């Protein structure tokens, strides 16, 4: 059976970062997936991995010296740029990112980048302080602005011995990202960007996900069965479509496959409310998929509540309504999507919620539908929008539901 990248021509750019060792596995995956891979290296990259290794894995000579007589054609940078469907730079060092953002063309890879007018995927990998440096952030913003698909680095152990943001995503994650990008390549759109992705490209999207946890005392809490899977699928789909995802998540059981642009972990409904309200003025879209507690204990006991012979009553107070507040604060051009989980009078309740809260769309799921709702991999939803449309969807995987929601949203703008 042909691989999912059958016939795709991929230029793989490597720079001088320790994560170059992971790129060796990526080459294997790409070749196994049916792609033809050619490697382009900065001189520093070859301090980390050898040409011999890259040539053996890719089956092709490595291009690393602009002026070498060994090159098959004299203007090799143009030749390679013409040949490829996609340029993937992994790992992308702070240095090369800066050169790309300033049009500097002083080695084989940077010169090739300047001559490349198709889709570019970039995986920055570096120490957290280098990544967070305003120069690196400004350079990445410039590249995003030009349509480069920048993968947010993962957090975890870094080679420099510290913990933090800056790890290159694992080869399997990069492969999935490249595979999706290749599936949506379109020669007709700017920089070869996928047409449907262009709506989300560069848009800032606030996404809430998972359950909230409302403490009763130091050991007990009130929560719900939300796994956070629907939110993770939305986060991944938004990342693939080029959005800057601000994921505000309660303690979910799953994590997105692709690192969101910003991950804001919260516990309580009040924390989720504060995070969402402060982010909203800067956002283009908000999708509120979290299962937020409607009620929270009126008081949190400082000590563990002791077992008594009688009954125990808990006094609860209402939490603040995130969707309603975002609806009130919504400005012209912002899109607001809420989720509703209903058990009776579903459509009527969801329509009323849409109007009361000034949302643009409600994604309704009913617990009465088998295979829909919490802790299952599937969902059956109905889209209810402010233009009065009610569109019942079939039972689908949560990945497909996420994709359907994002396909539908542009029709509301
Ligand atoms: C052991 C070692 C590891 C390094 N790892 C990284 C890294 O992960 N990311 C990065 O941006 N720079 C890293 N650097 C610094 C780059 O290699 C250096 O900035 C170099 O000039 C990059 O060149 P290039 O962008 O042309 O490949 C590392 C340097 C050393 C010595």
Residues 381-405 pLDDT 10s = 999 999 999 999 998 999 999 999 9
What residues pair up with 160 in beta bridges, in sequence order? none
- Which of 208, 236, 212, 216 lies closest to 226, judged by CA? 212
The β-bridge relationship of strands 361-366 and 285-288 is: unpaired
CA distance 397 to 406: 14
Which one of the listed residues 41, 53, 160, 182 is annotated catalytic?
A: 160
pLDDT one-digit tens code per residue, 89-103:
999 999 999 999 999
Q: What is the DSSP letter of 191?
A: G
In sequence order, the 6+-apart residues with CB closer than 8 A to the CB of 364 are 339, 340, 342, 346, 347, 350, 381, 382, 383, 384
Residue 368 near residue 395, CB atoms below 8 Å: no
Residue 26 near residue 90, CB atoms below 8 Å: yes
Question: Could you tell me the distance, in angstroms and rounded to a whole number, from the CA of residue 156 to the centre of ligand 1?
Answer: 18
What are the sequence ranges of the domains in the chain? Answer: 9-194, 199-298+314-412
> What pLDDT does residue 72 have?
64
Q: How many CA atoms lie within 13 A of 300 on its CB side?
A: 14
Q: How many CA atoms lie within 13 A of 238 on its CB side?
A: 31
pLDDT one-digit tens code per residue, 324-375:
999 999 999 999 999 998 777 888 999 999 999 999 999 998 776 666 666 6
DSSP notation for 231-266: HHHHHHHHHHTT-EEEEEE-S-S---SSPPSEEEE-
What residue's CA is closest to ligand 1, atom 1? 18
pLDDT one-digit tens code per residue, 311-323:
888 999 999 999 9
The β-bridge relationship of strands 295-297 and 316-318 is: antiparallel
9-194 — its CATH code?
Answer: 3.40.50.1950
* Mean local confidence (pLDDT), 275-292: 97
| 9-194 and 199-298+314-412 in the same fold | yes
* Mean local confidence (pLDDT), 52-63: 96
Question: Could you tell me the distance, in angstroms and rounded to a whole number, from the CA of residue 374 to the centre of ligand 1?
Answer: 45
Mutate to test the pocket of ligand 1, among 13, 15, 16, 126 (most ligand atoms within 8 A of CB): 16
3-state secondary structure of 404: helix
* Mean local confidence (pLDDT), 157-164: 68
Q: Cβ < 6 Å from ligand 1: which residues?
A: 15-19, 42, 44-45, 93-96, 125-126, 130
Residue 117 near residue 41, CB atoms below 8 Å: no
Least confident of 42-56, 101-115, 160-174: 160-174
199-298+314-412 — its CATH code?
Answer: 3.40.50.10300
Per-residue confidence at 193, pLDDT binned at 50, 70, 90? very low
- Predicted TM-score (pTM) of the model is 0.89
> What pLDDT does residue 190 have?
44
Residue 86 near residue 118, CB atoms below 8 Å: yes
What residue's CA is closest to ligand 1, atom 16? 16
CA distance 125 to 16: 10
The per-residue pLDDT of the chain, averaged, comes to: 90
41 included as an active-site residue: no
């Amino acid at each position: 059976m042909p691989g999912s990248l059958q016939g795709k021509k991929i230029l793989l750019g490597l720079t001088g970062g320790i994560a170059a060792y992971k790129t060796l596995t990526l080459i294997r995956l790409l070749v196994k997936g049916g792609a033809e891979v050619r490697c382009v290296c900065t001189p520093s990259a070859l301090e980390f991995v050898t040409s011999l290794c890259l040539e053996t894995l890719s089956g092709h000579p490595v291009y690393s010296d602009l002026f070498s007589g060994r090159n098959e054609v004299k203007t090799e940078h143009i030749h390679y740029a013409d040949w490829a469907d996609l340029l993937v730079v992994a790992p992308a060092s702070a240095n090369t990112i800066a050169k790309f953002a300033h049009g500097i063309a002083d080695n084989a890879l940077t010169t090739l980048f300047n001559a490349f007018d198709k889709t570019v995927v970039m995986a920055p990998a570096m120490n957290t302080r280098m990544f967070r440096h305003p120069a690196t952030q400004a350079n990445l913003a410039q590249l995003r602005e030009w349509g480069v698909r920048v993968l947010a680095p993962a957090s975890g152990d870094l080679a420099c011995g510290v913990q933090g943001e800056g790890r290159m995503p694992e080869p399997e994650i990069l492969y999935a990202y490249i595979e999706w990008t290749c599936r949506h390549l379109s020669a007709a759109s700017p920089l070869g960007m996928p047409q449907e992705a262009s709506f989300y490209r560069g848009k800032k999207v606030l996404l809430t996900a998972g359950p909230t946890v409302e403490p009763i005392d130091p050991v007990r809490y009130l929560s719900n069965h939300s796994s956070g899977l629907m939110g993770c699928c939305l986060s991944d789909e938004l990342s693939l479509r080029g959005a800057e995802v601000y994921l505000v998540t309660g303690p979910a059981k799953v994590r997105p496959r692709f690192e969101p642009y910003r991950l804001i972990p919260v516990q309580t409904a009040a924390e989720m409310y504060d995070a969402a309200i402060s982010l909203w003025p800067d956002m283009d879209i908000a999708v509120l998929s979290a299962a937020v507690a409607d009620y929270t204990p009126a008081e949190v006991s400082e000590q563990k509540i002791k077992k008594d012979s009688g009954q125990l009553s808990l006094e609860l107070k209402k939490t603040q309504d995130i969707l309603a507040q975002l609806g009130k604060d919504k400005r012209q051009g912002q899109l607001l999507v809420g989720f509703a989980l209903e058990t009776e009078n579903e459509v009527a309740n969801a329509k009323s919620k849409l109007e009361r809260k000034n949302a643009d769309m409600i994604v309704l799921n009913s617990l009465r539908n088998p295979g829909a709702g919490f802790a299952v991999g599937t969902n059956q939803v109905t889209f209810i929008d402010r233009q009065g449309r009610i569109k019942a969807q079939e039972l689908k995987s949560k990945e497909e539901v996420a994709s359907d929601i994002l396909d539908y949203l542009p029709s509301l703008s």
